[in-house]
Structure 1
Amino acid sequence: MKISITRVNISDQEVHEITMKNKHGMEVAFLTLGGIITKILVPDIEGHYENVVLSHTDYRDYLKNPGYFGAIIGRTSGRIKNAQFELNGTIYSLSKNYGENQGHGGFIGFSGRNFQFECSNLNDNASVTLRYLSPHLEEGYPGEVLVEVTYSLNDYNEFAIHYEAIPKADTLINMTNHTYFNLSGSFEESILYHVLMIKAEKFAEVDDTSAPTGELLEVEGTPFDFRYMREIGEDIKERHPQLLIGNGYDHPFLLVPDASPKVRLAHRFSGRVLEIDSTAECVVVYTQNYTDNQHVQCGGILQNRRSVALEFQNLPIGKNGVNMENSIVQGGEKYSAKTVYKFKVEQMNA
């Protein structure tokens, strides 16, 4: 197991890119800026290694990063309707970076912070802990919060993310990672031909601003039924009202608690398979329905639906604090969540 560290200057900001590599040759690379995952190298059925995560060609683009490529998201993930919430009788107004809503932690959020780091390297497991102290009222959230996110890689081709946070006062915390995947290794190829399974009986309805309404809808009989492996693009063009809102999938799926794996993504021709388990309540599936014409590695200028983001988190917060209860963390208590990504190869029928 190897850990290597490279200094990267991004517009006069000193950032470190850290790479973990296991005995099989799988690599995971990420920046201390936002914990942004820039590379996951895994083999295909022929043993060829390619990067299966979306990343910018020019690292200076990560200073804006409108698509949140690879980043840690916090303090909260997803939309907060009207960018405000009431906690302990006080109304907190948040920064509005998604129209009238807040999204993914605000204008900067954790995705734009440069974390401190500490490495640990054992025989069969490498890990790096990223730390950030979020001050009281940063982006409008109450309470100072010490955040630790640990990335680890073992010799079983399992990459894990462990989130921990301890606030000094009652606040909201609901973290995730916003990595986009394309298991073909080429971001010129559409994600719509990947096959996907989500162990979810229900998904969250969203309004026309993509904030949750509070309603949970049955997946059965809808384009949102991924209880069994099927192509992502099979029903994505149907005129379902929820698909029309986001121009595709951009919805939280409520995960079956005891299921394992929770999510399975596969690419037939390369044989690459990704199985994911998580302690999270739901997974937000976003089929990269829009693009800002970013220049990306292994794909030139990014087109729509060249990747899929799988964001494991608690349900986002809607109008009048809908779903907020699962994001409240009391002062002095520890927030903890973990997601494990297991990569493998399988011979599949084309």
Structure 2
Amino acid sequence: MMEGKLSEDAVRQCMKAYSRKLDLEGTEVHEITLENRAGMKVTALDFGCIITGIYAPDRHGNFKNVVLSYENPDDYLSNPAYFGALIGRTSGRIKDGTFTLSGETFNLALNYGTNSGQGGREGFDKKRYSFSVNTSESMAAMVFRRTSPHLEEGYPGNLQIAVSYSLSEENVFKISYKAVSDSDTIVNLTNHSYFNLSGDFSRSIENHLLMIASDHYAELDDTSAPTGKLIETKGTPFDFNSMKEIGRDIADEDSQLFIGKGYDHPFVLKEGTGVKARLWDRETGRFMEISTDNRALVLYSQNYAQGQVIAGGFTLPERVSAALEVQRLPIGKDGIFLEDSILKQGETFRSNTEYRFGIL
């Protein structure tokens, strides 16, 4: 294992790991690639831990990138929709940008209207990370590390984080998070990749079939922050316990769909092991199964576009991808769900999520 550099021995392993340098408006960035013997690849930057590519095969053996990426890599510096980025210290919105911890109140930047969102004005998605890689005959991984200083974006504690992206020979992509703080703080990390398993980001995501193992979702107020109420999914447009098209109920007259202009809600995942979500594109046969030890998953049906020019050279339309953000529940009014994100001094935050790719 070598910090910031890939060894020749690592490259010669059955699992491949290699990198290239990118110049993003004068900033030198590394894009690291993991590749297995079947030809599946994962690419990510040491800026924002941004996943720039997940190349998976279809039923005819054709590999395509199934996550949103930019045509011009310079655009990752601004990246307003957080394509592929690590989100932290906390993901989602924090109501009114304030929370109280250990008797002290902390005020965060209000960068999402009246709320704080996705870690603040310059969250973890805008930071540089050291990286290391390791490979074996059955696995390749890249590990990103950084220390977030006390009161960065208003959050207490010096927080040491490590984020691991690994790829197996069985086409399983795994994200593992680890964090330790020298004082009580809050942490809620996620990855903000946008998926379209067809690999064609001119095609609507509404035709993809989705399953989410969830009996309740979090109600949002008119600022898209949780109210604290959990609503049963059964009998609502939010029931994805059986596979259904994302677009089947998205236009229903439901006040929660109106708030999000579609799906932009945390689902409380069922307890226990097993697959917690499944996404499937019938045309190409590609599917993705998500297993995790996290409590929640935010489904965002990419209800907005901000004029981004994506790979292929065309302007991003709305609803051609879906983000499946595995995380804790976001923090609502009066600190609702705050306990889900508390990390005590000296304790270790750990979280693991696996994405298994296959063909049906």
Structure 2 length-normalised TM: 0.95
Q: Give the Cα separation in 2 of the matches to 1:120 and 1:223.
A: 44
1:188 touches 1:299 (CA, 8 Å); kept in 2? Answer: no
CA contact (8 A) 1:129 1:149 kept: yes
SS where residue 189 of structure 1 aligns? coil
Number of the residue aligned with 2:225: 211
Aligned match of 2:93: 79
Q: 2:349 aligns with which of 329, 335, 346?
A: 335
Q: Distance in 1 between matches of 2:139 and 2:126?
A: 28
Q: Using the alignment, how far apart are the partners of 2:160 and 2:265 within structure 1?
A: 29
For residue 298 of structure 1, report the CA deviation from its aligned partner: 3.5
Q: Would you say 1:251 and 2:265 are equivalent positions? A: yes
Q: Any residues of structure 2 matched to 1:264-279 within 5 Å, and which? A: 264-279=278-293
Aligned residue number for residue 109 of structure 1: 123
Task: Tell me if the contact between 1:186 and 1:299 (Cα under 8 Å) persists in the aligned partners.
Answer: no
In the TM superposition, what is the alpha-carbon distance from 1:170 to its structure 2 partner? 0.2
Partner of 1:244, secondary structure, is helix
Unpaired segments of 5 or more residues in structure 2?
Answer: 1-14
* Counterpart among 198, 212, 236 of residue 222 in structure 1: 236
Deviation, 1:239, is: 1.0
Deviations 1:166-214 (A, max 9, x none): 0110000010000000001100000000000000000000011110000
Q: Do the aligned partners of 2:40 and 2:56 also contact (CA within 8 Å) in 1? A: yes
* Separation in structure 2 between the aligned mates of residue 39 and residue 203 of structure 1, nearest angstrom: 30
SS of the equivalent of 1:82 reads helix
Match of 2:189 in 1: 175
Give SS of 2:290's match. strand
Letter in 2 for 1:222: T
Q: Judge conservation of contact 1:80–1:102 (CA < 8 Å) in 2.
A: yes
| 1:241 alignment partner, one of 255, 261, 277 | 255
Corresponding residue of 1:302: 316
Matches within 5 A, 1:1-350: 1-298=15-312, 300-346=314-360
SS in structure 2 of the partner of residue 312 of structure 1: strand
The CA RMSD over aligned residues, in Å, is 0.7
CA distance in structure 2 between the aligned counterparts of 1:306 and 1:96, rounded to whole angstroms: 28
Post-superposition Cα deviations, 1:115-167, rounded to whole Å, max 9, x if no partner, equal 10011111110011100110000000000000100000010000000000001
Q: 8 Å contact 1:136–1:143 — kept in the other structure?
A: yes
SS at match of 2:119: coil
Which deviations, in whole Å up to 9, do the C-alpha atoms of 1:245-298 show, x marking residues without a partner? 010000000000115210000000100000000111000000000000100014
Q: CA deviation at 1:299?
A: 6.3
Amino acid at match of 2:210: L
Cα distance, 1:90 vs structure 2: 0.6
Normalising by structure 1, report the TM-score. 0.98
Query: How far apart in 2 are the matches of 1:259 and 1:266?
Result: 21
- 1-structure distance, mates of 2:56, 2:102: 47
- Partners in 2 of 1:316 and 1:285 — Cα distance? 13
Where does the alignment leave 5 or more consecutive residues of structure 1 unmatched? none
Output one character per residue of 1:77-110: Cα deviation in whole Å (capped at 9) or x when no partner. Answer: 1000000100111110111110111101001110
Q: How many angstroms apart in 2 are the aligned matches of 1:181 and 1:156?
A: 20
Q: Aligned AA for 2:49?
A: G
Q: Contact 2:70 / 2:311 at 8 angstroms: preserved in 1?
A: yes
Moved over 4 A (4+): none
Q: Is the 8 A contact 2:71 2:313 kept in 1?
A: no
Amino acid at match of 1:176: T
Find the residue that maps to 1:331 and give its secondary structure: coil
